Structure 1
Amino acid sequence: MNKLTALFAITALAATAGIAQARDLGPDEALKLRDAGTIQSFEKLNEAAIAKHPGSKVEETELEEEYGRYIYQVELRDAQNVQWDLELDATSGQILKDQQDN
């Protein structure tokens, strides 16, 4: 039984370690980061996302810190009513992920 308990404990720790590496940032914290120049303005990040899908509209945004990196997540809906999920490096504005949402 000790081996089973140890295996379960290791699995649980590994699973929670991955979860703990990403955290959502609230509006106040996000504004402080923007005002300090740590991340780009939300308008600029939204413009970079829309440039990948011209004519699209921003539906939802979220700022997370993942492994010490600020990630800006954007959900867009284009003119053909297709939804897109993008992730940008909030510091540089570089697009990290651009995929159609199923």
Structure 2
Amino acid sequence: MKAILFIVSFIFGAAVADIAQVRQKYIAATESATASDELYTMLEGVPDTSKETTMVAYKAAAIMLQARYAKGIVTKKSFLKKVPNCLKPLLREMKQITKPGL
């Protein structure tokens, strides 16, 4: 029974990245291309429209770190083009929240 609970908790725990793990991985990713790849893989499943805005911001940062370690200007640029698309839903929501009169 304990084994089943462990497996189920591992499966559901792996699906959603923990903010503490993401923060630790981000720090490592600023100094290592391998850690950058791991961070991006961890956050790749976070939808751009997620209500967890911190995770969306970390996802955008992970994409920028991918660009940092990419080889060639064309590859770097392709990564950097993804960042605004990732942040648009977040910024749109923030704009609606801060709109005067609401």
Which structure: greater helix fraction?
A: 2
Larger Rg: 1
TM-score normalised over the length of structure 1: 0.30
Q: TM-score, normalised by structure 2?
A: 0.30
